[in-house]
Each structure stands twice: as C-alpha cells, then as structure tokens.
Amino acid sequence: MHETIEKVSLGRTGYDVTRIALGTYRFTNEFGVPRSDALALLNSAISLGINYMDTAPSYGNGESEELIGRVLRNNPNNRIFISSKVGLLQRSIVPFSGDEAYVSEDCIRRVVEHSLWLLQRDHLDMLFIHSPEEEIWRWDDKLDAPVLRVLEKLRDEKIIGAIGLGSNSAEFPSRLAETGRFDVVEIANGYTLLQQPIEKRLLPAAQRHDIGIVAGGPFCDGMLAKVQYEKLEEFKRSGRYNSLLNERTLAMLGDYYRLSDESEISMNELSLRYILSNPAIHTVIPGAQNPDEVEKNYRAGLKGPLPDDVLEEIGKIQRKAASL
C-alpha cells in the first residue's frame, strides 16, 4: 500500500485533487514517449494514487487522450480527474474550418465530443481554453468571447464540470480571471524557481474568486529537472538566450545547482517542493517519460513543502538575481 499524497480542494470546483498531478504533453512518439511507455506511465501514476491528469487534443493529435481513455477503462474503480482543452484547432477534428472554428459553437462542440469519445467518458471534469491570449478567439472589450459562452452552455448541460484557462503566459489569463467566470487556471512556467509571474495579479484574483490554480511546466523545459552544469556552461558559451534562458536565469540556475548539491535535495525535488511550499497553488503538473520519473515526482509530493532554511536560501538567490 502506497503512502497518499496530500489532496486539496481545487478552488470552487469541488474536486479534491492530489498536489502532484500528471501532464501528458510529451506522450506518443512525436514528443518522445512511445505508446507502451505512456501506458506503463499512466498505470504507474494511478497505482501511486495520483488522481489528476492533464491532456489536450493537440497532444499527439489526440493520442494522449486516447491513451488516457484506454487506461481509465481498465481502472473503473479509480476516480481520476481529467482536464482537456479546446484550442489549437488546426490540430483537432476540425482542421479545415479555419479561423471560424474558434467562434463556431458547432466546431467547439465537435472538438469536445471527440475528446470525450477518445477519453471514453460522457463527462469532462475540466475544459480549458488553450492559449486564450490568441486574437483568434475574438475577445470583446468586456472580455467575453463566443468560446466562453459555449463552454458555459456545456457546463450548464453537465457535459463539463469546470471552465478553465491554459496558457504559457500569465498576463491575459490574469485579466480574464478577474472577471470571475473561470473556475481553474493553469499557467506553464507561471510559478517556478526561475520566475513567478502569476504572483502579481493572478494569485490575488484567484483568492478573490476561489479559482483553482494549477502550476504547469515546473522544470522549465528540463533545466530544473536535474543538475546540468555542462549544459549550463554550453548555454553561457553559445549566448543562445531566449525569454527564459538569459544571463539572469543562468546565474540563478548555477546557484540552484549548488543549493541542490549542498542540501542533498535533487533538482527535481527542489523544483516541485518549492511550488508546493506556496499554499495558493493547489496542484502542480510535472511531465514524465517513464514510470521511474512518475515515482520521483510522487515521492517529492509526499515530502510536501521545503524546509524553512532551504526556502530562505531560495529567497536569497531570487533577490540576488533581481538586482542583476
């Protein structure tokens, strides 16, 4: 019998989810996880008691949803919460509808129905608008859009349970959250050791409206998954900086790697437990490529928040970086 990861109420959804979830973005050969490994990985997560999985039609062109559906069918007694998405419609069942698909109730319903068919369910716990900051959704001055009205209908019809936002950016979803019309918000790279853009506006809005907060991308494309001194030096030499990897964040990485060595806490664990140390964040969605990685994430979740002395050192690293 495995120890149980702490569960928390995901805002106003009424769902009690484990604080460590499972992201399935990299499922299928296209993204690096073969089907056989993905099935083993999913079964491992369920056996460890992880009860929340995040997917999308664009993850492997539906293959992620299909794999989850297959595993859920074989585990009928386990209550697993699923969030999927509507968006990136060129990679969905309506690829030839063009931009009009984003404002068409028929197209949006077809995408949701297809997700339910692949997942082998008649109800979807959470449905997120994927990349809501894209102009293609046609938000008006009152922050209303056709897709939101359709999702509210689907919620009224009990086809979906909660409406959410899923994005790589915190700015526009924070504005949308302030309307109070969303139940859950998931931001990739929104709260990590390297950056915390959701702190300023999104977290206060979430507290006012009892919105569930999901932290995606906890490892920042792998840079926070393990100590990688060689890769760090390679980036420094190449000067191949981007919005995430710049001189400031590279300096932070070096300091975090040293903290990991000195504290004897792996980078994987340090990254996850840092997020779990903030009670305003309900759950974190790390990806995994094999059952061993699922178990590492699970064991980090069992330990919960970091010790105060480690959090103090992290604060020093972040203040130092802010002065650069």
- pLDDT (tens digit per residue) in 157-211: 999 999 999 999 999 999 999 999 999 999 999 999 999 999 999 999 999 999 9
Give the pLDDT score at 33.
86
Q: How confident is the model at residue 61 (pLDDT cuts 50, 70, 90)?
A: confident
Q: How far is CA 200 from CA 70, 86, 184, 278, 307, in A?
A: 40, 27, 17, 14, 24
Query: How many contiguous H segments (helices) and E segments (strands) does the chain have?
Result: 11, 10
Q: Which residue has better confidence, 283 or 35?
A: 283
| Euclidean distance between CA atoms 186 and 128, whole angstroms | 8
Give the pLDDT score at 266.
96
Residue with structure tokens 């790589």?
Answer: 168
Q: Which residues contact 65 (CB under 8 A, 6 or more apart)?
A: 55, 56, 57, 59, 84, 115, 118, 119
pTM of the model: 0.94
Distance of CA 153 to the CA centre of its chain: 25
CA-wise closest residue to 289 among 22, 29, 38: 38
124 phi and psi angles, rounded to 5 deg: -115, 125
Give the pLDDT score at 226.
84
8 Å CB contact between 206 and 200 = no
8 Å CB contact between 81 and 126 = yes
Residue with structure tokens 């190449």?
Answer: 238
CA-wise closest residue to 273 among 296, 299, 304: 304
Residue 241 confidence (pLDDT) above 60: no
| Euclidean distance between CA atoms 54 and 242, whole angstroms | 27
Q: How far is CA 159 from CA 75, 99, 113, in A?
A: 21, 24, 9
Domains of the chain, each with CATH number or no CATH: 7-222+267-305 (3.20.20.100)
| Summary mean pLDDT of the chain | 93
